Structure 1
Amino acid sequence: MTNQHEKAIATLNRLIEVCQDGDRGYKNAAEHIEHDEIKTVLYRLSQQRALFQAELKDEVRKLGGNPDESPAEEEGTILGNIHRAWINVKEKLTKNDFDAILEECKRGDKAASLAYEAALKENLPEYIKEILIGQHHLIKGAVTQLHDFQQHPDA
């Protein structure tokens, strides 16, 4: 295994954790929000993050890595911020505060977006960058969609 493959595996494993946090965060939010249309969107976003994980795990395996290994703690700050953002979703859920739940979901995805931006600056194979660009675009779209729901919750 080349050094580039090892770095790519570590990067992808970090993003797998990011997607796991998003998957759990969106699922928790969906279970606690009363608005049916938004509940459906939140479940869809949870499933989307699960698909992102599966896609990234496949790429880790293709590179000869183990997708179940935790990433190195060198990116602890980014991962910690993402994890804390999704933990804050749990805290807001207990109050069933519509705007607060959506705001924390947006915050979690904004942190995820930063993790993707950092990954895209790394020396990764082009085909992996294409996958990450596509996922990153969808994450940014989710933030926009949640913002629109906050502006027009009955839409």
Structure 2
Amino acid sequence: METNKEIISDLKGLVNIVNDGKEGYESASEATDSKELKAVFLKYAAQRAAYAIELKNHLAQHGGNSDNEEGGVLGALHRTWIDIKQAFSSREDTAILEAIETGENAALEKYDKVLEDDDAHADHIALLQRQRTGILEALKEIETYHQRLLR
């Protein structure tokens, strides 16, 4: 029973972090004037929305639920940080990309922590690994755009 509570807690935490990512990408898409970046940001916002649905399905299988459609408290801090950086940098894409990198690294850390307990998460380990890979690929793409802008 204790393990199931931990599974539910872990999955809820992941729902929060992917919703944070969705919100962050949506905010970034509104803040950039670059059509290319806007498309990338909206692609990843949609990806995170899909991840949240998948996680909520597994959460339900374990008797939990999450009505969270937005990020958690930490996500609000990340979004606030994006807003602050935008205000100081006149909506510079490099600042937006830096903030997204911070959020993506936080998401990877959260996934890594959950994946450490692979026995508890055995029935959805493949899902978690696939989602983590997707976040890592997004981070790499964001870093590529960031490096391109710094040149």
TM (norm. structure 2) is: 0.86
Identity within the alignment, %: 26
1:54 aligned partner: 53
Q: Quote how far apart the aligned CAs of 1:112 are.
A: 0.6
Find out whether 1:15 has 2:10 as its counterpart. no
Find out whether 1:147 has 2:112 as its counterpart. no
Match of 1:101 among 96, 99, 110: 96
The runs of at least 4 aligned residues of structure 1 exceeding 3 Å deviation read 79-83
1:128 aligned partner: 124
8 Å CA contact retained: 1:22, 1:46: yes
In 2, Cα distance between equivalents of 1:12 and 1:25: 20
Find out whether 1:118 has 2:125 as its counterpart. no
Structure 2: which 5+ residue stretches go unaligned?
none
1:84 aligned partner: 77
Give the letter for the 1:9 counterpart.
I
Give the letter for the 1:45 counterpart.
Y
In 2, Cα distance between equivalents of 1:120 and 1:12: 11
In 2, Cα distance between equivalents of 1:20 and 1:54: 10
In 2, Cα distance between equivalents of 1:80 and 1:66: 18
1:45 aligned partner: 44
Q: Quote how far apart the aligned CAs of 1:83 are.
A: 4.4
TM (norm. structure 1) is: 0.84
8 Å CA contact retained: 1:16, 1:56: yes
In 2, Cα distance between equivalents of 1:113 and 1:62: 24
Structure 1: which 5+ residue stretches go unaligned?
70-78
Give the letter for the 2:81 counterpart.
N
8 Å CA contact retained: 1:82, 1:112: no
Give the letter for the 1:116 counterpart.
Y
